[in-house]
Amino acid sequence: MDGRIEFNTLINEQKEEIISSTIFNDSGCINIMEMNEKENYLLCGTNNGGLLHFHIDKKKIELKDNKLIHTDKIVSISINDNLNMFATSSKDGYVLLYTYPSFNLIRSIYIPCLFKEETEFTYADNIFLSNYPLPCISIYIAKKKVFKTFTINGNSINEIKEEENTEYIKSGIVFTSFDYQDYLIYGTSDGFIKLRKFPELDLIQQMNPFNNGKSIESLCLSKDSRFIFCWSDSNEIAVISNNFTK
């Protein structure tokens, strides 16, 4: 909340070293961060619609660009290395698709236009970029409890309804299996971990690791995608062997 970004390195299990610390008082509070490990860049979205672009090396974190691309809080960022693209979603109702590193805007989707029959304002709470087997972008709209998937050119592919008990989804991760198929894995507010297959986002498998109905607040995959780590609103942590895509 103080606008500070700290860049730390783990020396060992007991000690970490602060390499650099930077304050951006004029950029608004940073509320979301996404890292591209392949190219070593970091994208940060702020509560006033700004996008901060950092490059990271072993000794420092350097601000490359600071742009105001939305008129309201950025709530989701998705980066895809294979496409050389990233997407942002904001409470202003827009989803923007950019190339990287040129930062050219190639697509703008206004979410309320997808529901012309209603006057209620809505926005995309989550966005996901996928490459295999078809370059596409998927959005999740919590107010409607619906996934919508489009090609990069903006053509509609599919629409999938989420369960009625699911108020929101958390920690969505797009990963590629050994047979070059992209999957989306995420946690839900009603305690499930779900796996969907791109581009139609058909539900492949789901599990309830804690059996208590508490929200899955955070989820991550190991580097080799063999294990799933998740943390629940009940303050429990589970490590699960990932056999979803076998």
Quick one: CATH architecture of 1-161?
7 Propeller (2.130)
Across 150-164, average pLDDT? 92
Tell me which architecture the domain covering 165-246 has in CATH: Beta Barrel (2.40)
What are residue 130's DSSP bridge partners? 136
> In the predicted model, what is the mean pLDDT of residues 35-51?
89
- Report pLDDT digits (tens) over 108-148: 999 998 887 666 789 999 999 999 999 999 999 999 999 99
- Residue 180, pLDDT above cutoff 60: yes
Alpha-carbon radius of gyration of the chain:
18
Sign of CA dihedral 32, 35, 40, 43: negative
**3-class secondary-structure state, position 197:** strand
pLDDT at residue 63, as a whole number: 86
232/46 Cα distance (integer angstroms): 26
> pTM score > 0.85 for this model?
yes
Domain spans in the chain, listed from the N-terminal domain onward: 1-161, 165-246
Q: pLDDT by residue (tens digit) across 87-110?
A: 999 999 999 999 988 889 999 999
